[in-house]
Amino acid sequence: MGFFDIFKRKKSDEKVSNEESVIDESQLEENEQVTELEEKDEEEVKEESSENVTIEDEKKTDAEFESEVEELVAKGDNSKEKKAGFLKRLRNGLSKTSNKLVGGIETIFLGKKEIDEELLEELEELFVTSDIGINTTLKIIDAVRDEVSRKVLKNPEDLKNSIKNKIFEILNIDNSLKQVDEKPYVILVVGVNGVGKTTTIAKIAKMFKDNGLKTMLAAGDTFRAAAIDQLQVWADRVDVPIVKQQEGSDPAAVIYDAVVSAKAKGYDVLIADTAGRLHTKYNLMNELKKIVRVVKKEMPNAPHEILLVLDATSGQNAINQAKIFNEAVGVTGIVLTKLDGTAKGGVIVGIVDELKIPVKFIGFGEGMDDLKPFDAKTFVDALFEKND
């Protein structure tokens, strides 16, 4: 199942899709053919899913992959080039965290042939300073200590692999987008000021659009005029419509109007921005609760996703924000931004471990393409990749 298969397949659609010819992946990527993924047969979607590409690519060395990319580009197929570009950006984005964590592990292991208690303590300190969080750090270190005593881990190299696996296991929880059988698919984006909500909305809108889904935005941050203008600029860039009102208007009303409009016009996806600062009159959490209540009047099952945007550079504070927003409105997924700006990207491990709320997207740059659905394997591989 593809990450953007947000609509449940209907029985009648399946019949139709069986008669359809296979859709060329590159055509889909180019967005030339606005064929919705939902109409495709499950097997076709499986074959085309990017996860399969990842597994296949993993067996290749970088050099092999790059020469294959060159060949394909020469033939006019740039789907792999795009993938290579993404991996490079992800690695660059994660380089600070990766240098600290993996570089730190290498330094601790330097000249050591066996695993002793001193080494484990140094690792513990490294994890805490990478913002993995004390609880998660202790969990990982206790588990490896146990493996050492059972002689499962014989040398530092085994230990490194074991740590990588443990981080992968923590991160590898189901983070697919909720599937629904109604339109529009409503996504409410929440988070404190400056974490990257508006930028993230633009990036996600572009992804949906590139996947053939008709997408609309709602300017629910009515606290400042600049916030509305900023979303408008992004909407123009991505080329999607936006529903907005003037500064100071009731965000619940703006978002309600957008739901009605998206429904009437047959839009697939509606992404709503919200304010991140406390109003002078209203409490932010009450405002968010009101937005959810009002949206439910029009669509009882919406918002289908409530995405909390967290800034990776804010470290352990991100965990506190997650607790507060989750209590108020029930967060269904996290978007972790600015992973490119910090050596403390380990915070993602602590967040998922402690809150059990999946990370659905990660942001690693200010560009339109610097956001991806979170994939634990790709992430951990990029993190443990050596950066020179």
Chain positions contacting ligand GDP, by CB under 6 A? 191, 193-199, 276, 309, 337-338, 340-341, 363-366, 370
Cα angle 73-75-77, degrees, rounded to a multiple of 5? 55
Q: Is 273 annotated as a binding residue?
A: yes
Stretch that binds Mg ion, among 11-19, 226-234, 329-337, 345-353 (CB under 5 A): 226-234
Which pairs from 118-127 meet CB under 8 Å and 24+ separation? 119/156, 120/144, 120/145, 120/148, 123/163, 126/100, 126/101, 127/101, 127/346
Which CB sits closer to Mg ion, 223 or 384?
223
CB of 220 to ligand GDP, least distance (A): 11
Instruction: Provide the minimum distance between the beta carbon of 327 and ligand GDP in the complex, in angstroms, as a whole number.
Output: 20
Tokens of 86: 């993404």
Cβ(143)–Cβ(359) below 8 Å? no
- In the bound complex, what is the minimum distance in angstroms from residue 381's beta carbon to ligand GDP? 20
Q: Is 290 exposed, middle or buried (0-12, 13-18, 19+ CB in 10 A)?
A: middle
Query: In terms of Cα–Cα distance, which of 218, 307, 215, 306 is closest to 268?
Result: 215
Nearer CB in complex with Mg ion: 170/202: 202
Does residue 200 touch Mg ion according to CB under 5 A?
Answer: no
| Distance, CA of 332 to CA of 204 (rounded, Å) | 16
* Residue 360 binds which entry of ligand GDP, Mg ion, none, CB below 5-8 Å type-dependent: none
CB of 322 to ligand GDP, least distance (A): 15
Q: What single-letter DSSP state applies at residue 194?
A: T
Query: Residues 17, 98, 198, 342: which binds Mg ion (CB under 5 A)?
Result: 198
Find the shortest distance in angstroms from Cβ 195 to Mg ion.
Answer: 9
Asked if residue 277 belongs to a known ligand binding site, the reply is yes
Q: Are strands 215-218 and 359-363 parallel, antiparallel or unpaired?
A: unpaired
Q: At its nearest, how many Å lie between ligand GDP and the CB of residue 1?
A: 26
The CA-atom distances, in angstroms, between 325 and each of 41, 85, 196, 233, 361 are 38, 34, 16, 27, 17
Residue 369 and residue 202 in contact, taking contact as beta carbons nearer than 8 Å: no
Q: Which does 130 bind (CB under 5 to 8 A by kind): ligand GDP, Mg ion, none?
A: none
Residue least distant from Mg ion (Cβ): 198
Q: Is 339 annotated as a binding residue?
A: yes
Q: Which does 365 bind (CB under 5 to 8 A by kind): Mg ion, ligand GDP, none?
A: ligand GDP
**Strands 333-337, 305-311: pairing kind:** parallel
| Residues in contact with Mg ion by the rule CB under 5 A | 197-198, 227
Residue set of the binding site for GTP: 191-198, 273-277, 337-340
Enumerate the known binding-site residues: 191-198, 273-277, 337-340
